[in-house]
Amino acid sequence: MDAVSFAAFNRNIKYRFFKEDISDTSFGPNIKKKADKYDKDLASLKEMLAFLYNYRIKILRGEFDDDEIAIAKAKSYIKSVESKIISLKSRYSKDVTNNKGPFKGFRKPVNNVSKTTVIPLKFNCQIDGIGGIVIGNIFKIESKFLPKGYDQEDIAFAVMTENQKITAGQDWTTDFSGQFLLLDLPNNEPEEDIDLNSL
């Protein structure tokens, strides 16, 4: 009875911080539609980049004209080209032959927690006596002691307080606390290149 109640209680609950892998879902007729949308967005990006390249060449040659439509078009393309690239890089560019995907145009699963989804933590610790801990030092905690969403390379803690104690029995302990912070580490994961010449 308890198991049935618990299962019913948790029905339709979704992760707050993680998106589920799309590879196990049934795609149906959306496969062609998503692939066509991807190709259309890629062609649009190629057109934007070609226009901006030619526009830049004209400016470098000193061919300034008062064509307000071309200027407005260039400004519009400059604003939207970055979001278009990000959108394309977040989707699969090639089909995989198995029936479960990934399929071209579908979003890649998000395994990383974005910097806006983690909740700041505080960390308190008491260890055997040790010297050299200074307020402001950065330290990391083994991921097995942290919640699942915090198992990333860029998560660390900064020492906020530090206290030394020596008891009458000569027991030396060090107490310190840490405040959660995110390290600005470069992303070393290989990214899939968008082949602009494939069209």
In degrees, rounded to 5, the angle at the alpha carbon of residue 139 between the alpha carbons of residues 135 and 142 is 145
Strands 155-166 and 122-128: unpaired
pLDDT, greater one: 41 or 151: 41
Show the tokens assigned to 144.
């097995």
DSSP state letter for 116: T
| pLDDT tops 60 at residue 19 | no
Rounding to the nearest 10 degrees, give the CA dihedral for residues 144, 149, 152, 154.
-120
Q: What is the pLDDT of the chain when averaged over all its residues?
A: 76
Which pLDDT score, from 0 to 100, does residue 162 have?
93
Mean pLDDT of 128-144: 87
43 pLDDT higher than 60: yes
- The DSSP string of 76-98 is HHHHHHHHHHHHHHTB--S--SS
Which position has the higher pLDDT, 114 or 170? 170
Residue 176 belongs to what H/E stretch?
Answer: strand 172-182
Asked if residue 7 has pLDDT above 80, the reply is no
Could you give the CA distance from residue 117 to residue 16 in angstroms, rounded to a whole number?
9
3-state secondary structure 121-175: CEEEEEEECCCCCCCCCEECCCHHHCCHHHCCCCEEEEEEEEEEEECCCCCEEEE
Residue 38 CB neighbour total at 10 angstroms = 20
CA atoms within a 13 Å half-sphere pointing along the CA-CB vector of 186: 3
**pLDDT for position 24:** 43
pLDDT of residue 181: 87
| Mean predicted confidence (pLDDT) in 103-111 | 68
Per-residue pLDDT tens over the stretch 20-42: 444 444 556 677 787 788 888 88
